[in-house]
Amino acid sequence: MHFFDLISQLNGSFLIQDFAVVMIVAAVMVFVTHKLKQPMVIGYILAGMVIGPFTPPFSLIHDVSTINTLAELGIIILLFVIGTPN
């Protein structure tokens, strides 16, 4: 299933809400890892563990396929950032 087909099938409010949850949790985790003088990547990994669909006892997301698509896009963007020269 392509990304645009996925977006057309989703309810817009849940997509925006799921994206907002991802951004907020990632920002908080990066802030915490920065204060602990750890790499940002560790914050992103911890955010993924918190947001993930198998984190009991609550679920912060509505649609797992949306988060999977956002995760794939995040990995692509991370690879671009790593590959850019300083």
Domain boundaries defined on the chain: 3-83
- Please report where in the chains the tokens 């995760």 appear, as a residue: 71
Residue pair 50/28 in contact (Cβ under 8 Å)? The answer is no
Residues making up the chain, counted from first to last = 86
Average pLDDT over residues 42-46: 88
More confident residue, 29 or 7: 29
pTM recorded for the entire structure: 0.69
Radius of gyration of the CA atoms of the chain, in A: 14
Query: So what's the pLDDT on residue 13?
Result: 65
Euclidean distance between CA atoms 23 and 17, whole angstroms: 10
What confidence tens digit (pLDDT) does each residue in 66-80 have?
778 878 888 888 888
